[in-house]
């Protein structure tokens, strides 16, 4: 590999950040307009369906730290939309199942989490939410490959 091939341009880093920030935007920045729009529609539809079907936004539980951390990462793959959804659902940006502080006994995040879990559609909504986040994380690899010219020419 030459030094030119090893160096990553700032445009690629910007495209990666844009792709995480707003699904589909990284492809658009690299000139893959149709692909970017298609991926944006797919990811946003999955995310919207997940929220509409009372999907559970994962919370890290100290009793199952590995599994619940992976679930939170899957949710965070959608970017800042996950944070906005958490504020809408829980009233604040919540990522832990239990509050560690003086108001721990008055914390209602688990009540909200369990109410959403009781919904008949919650299982499907949760699957949609995780799919949207994981799909967007996989699309970051696609943006990386396009930006590094491992996958066709940029601008095609």
**Is pLDDT above 80 for 76?**
yes
* pTM score: 0.82
Separation between Cα atoms, residue 27 and residue 149, nearest integer Å: 13
Instruction: Give tens-digit pLDDT for 113-132.
Output: 777 777 788 899 999 999 99
pLDDT band at 29 (very low <50, low <70, confident <90, very high): very high
**Is pLDDT above 70 for 102?**
no
Mean pLDDT, rounded, of the chain: 86
Instruction: Give tens-digit pLDDT for 39-70.
Output: 999 999 999 999 999 988 888 888 889 999 99
Distances (CA, A) of 104 to 97, 108, 152: 11, 9, 53
Domain regions of the chain by residue span: 3-147
């Amino acid at each position: 590999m030459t030094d030119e091939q090893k160096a990553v341009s700032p445009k690629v880093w910007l495209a990666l950040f844009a792709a995480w920030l707003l699904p589909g935007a990284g492809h658009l920045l690299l000139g893959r307009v149709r692909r970017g729009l298609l991926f944006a529609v797919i990811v946003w539809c999955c995310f919207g369906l997940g929220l509409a079907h009372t999907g559970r936004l994962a919370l890290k539980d100290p009793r199952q730290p590995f599994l619940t951390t992976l679930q939170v990462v899957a949710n965070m793959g959608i970017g800042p939309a996950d944070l906005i959804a958490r504020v809408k659902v829980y009233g604040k940006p919540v990522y832990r199942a239990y509050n560690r502080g003086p108001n721990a006994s008055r914390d209602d995040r688990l009540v909200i989490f369990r109410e959403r879990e009781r919904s008949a559609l919650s299982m499907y909504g949760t699957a949609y939410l995780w799919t949207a986040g994981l799909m967007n994380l996989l699309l970051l690899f696609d943006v990386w490959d396009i930006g590094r010219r491992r996958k066709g020419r940029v601008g095609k």
